[in-house]
Amino acid sequence: MFEIGDNIYIKKYQGDTLLPDTSKPYTIIGLDNKVEKKKFTGSFQKYAMLHNGEKQLVYTYDCYTKERVFYVEKIVRWYHVFCCFYDL
**For 36-55, what is each residue's pLDDT tens digit?**
887 778 889 999 999 999 99
Most distant pair of Cα atoms in the chain: their distance: 54
**For 12-45, what is each residue's pLDDT tens digit?**
999 999 999 989 999 999 998 888 887 778 889 9
Decide if 83 is inside a domain.
yes
Count of structural domains, the chain: 1
Decide if 32 is inside a domain.
yes
Query: Where does the pLDDT of residue 80 fall: very low under 50, low under 70, confident under 90, or very high at 90 and above?
Result: low
Distance CA 62, CA 41 (A): 8
Distance CA 45, CA 10 (A): 15
Decide if 40 is inside a domain.
yes
Decide if 17 is inside a domain.
yes
Q: Percentage of the chain with pLDDT > 90?
A: 62
Decide if 31 is inside a domain.
yes
Asked if 57 contacts 70 with a C-beta cutoff of 8 angstroms, the reply is no
Decide if 26 is inside a domain.
yes
Beta-ladder partners of 55: 49
Which residue from 13, 61, 56, 58 is spatially nearest to 41, judged by alpha carbons?
Answer: 61
Decide if 81 is inside a domain.
yes
Distance CA 65, CA 74 (A): 24
Range of the domain at 30: 7-87
Neighbours of 75 (CB within 10 A): 17
